[in-house]
Amino acid sequence: MTAARGSAGTRLEQARVEIAQRRSHAEAATAGPWSADDREVWQSADQETVVVRSWVDENDPDIAHIAANDPAHVLAVLAAADATLDRHAVAAWWDPEFMDDGDPAPCGTCTYDARRVVWPCPDAAAVLDVYAPEPA
């Protein structure tokens, strides 16, 4: 990590840690797909393994949300976030030792020809905002 990346580089590290932690939780959870009725979420293959039981109101909207976010779905979302950060990383050719002082790091994907996009580009920033939001 270079100093020139500053807080964005720190946010990238935080996002990678957060993604890894969420992946670990998803991998440890009851495998999906999950289904739900108005009271429970269960593992669909055996229709017996109760993943979550609601002791609150019937038709709790949280139940449908939990069922829609089973481990396989979460792992797919995390893989997409990781892929976006990989694809929109700082340009491999960028070396702060050979740049003018304060020259910001460019995105390796969004910067081409005469177009220069400072990292984090909008794609990387969108992922960072989810997994490593800047302090309010």
The residue ranges that bind Zn ion (CB under 5 A) are 88, 107, 109-110, 121, 123
Q: How many CB atoms lie within 10 A of CB 79?
A: 12
Read off the DSSP letter of residue 115: B
Tokens 């593992």 -> residue = 43
Go through the chain and tell me how many residues it has.
136
Residue nearest to Zn ion (CB): 121
**Least distance in Å: CB of 84 to Zn ion?**
9
CB 62 within 8 A of CB 102: no
Q: By C-beta, is 11 or 88 nearer to Zn ion? A: 88
**Least distance in Å: CB of 23 to Zn ion?**
23
**Least distance in Å: CB of 119 to Zn ion?**
7
Which whole-number Å values give the CA distances from 130 to 12, 18, 51, 99, in the listed order?
11, 10, 26, 31
Q: By C-beta, is 67 or 105 nearer to Zn ion? A: 105
Q: By C-beta, is 43 or 111 nearer to Zn ion? A: 111
**Least distance in Å: CB of 93 to Zn ion?**
14
Q: By C-beta, is 23 or 88 nearer to Zn ion? A: 88
Query: Which pair of tokens denotes residue 45?
Result: 């293959």
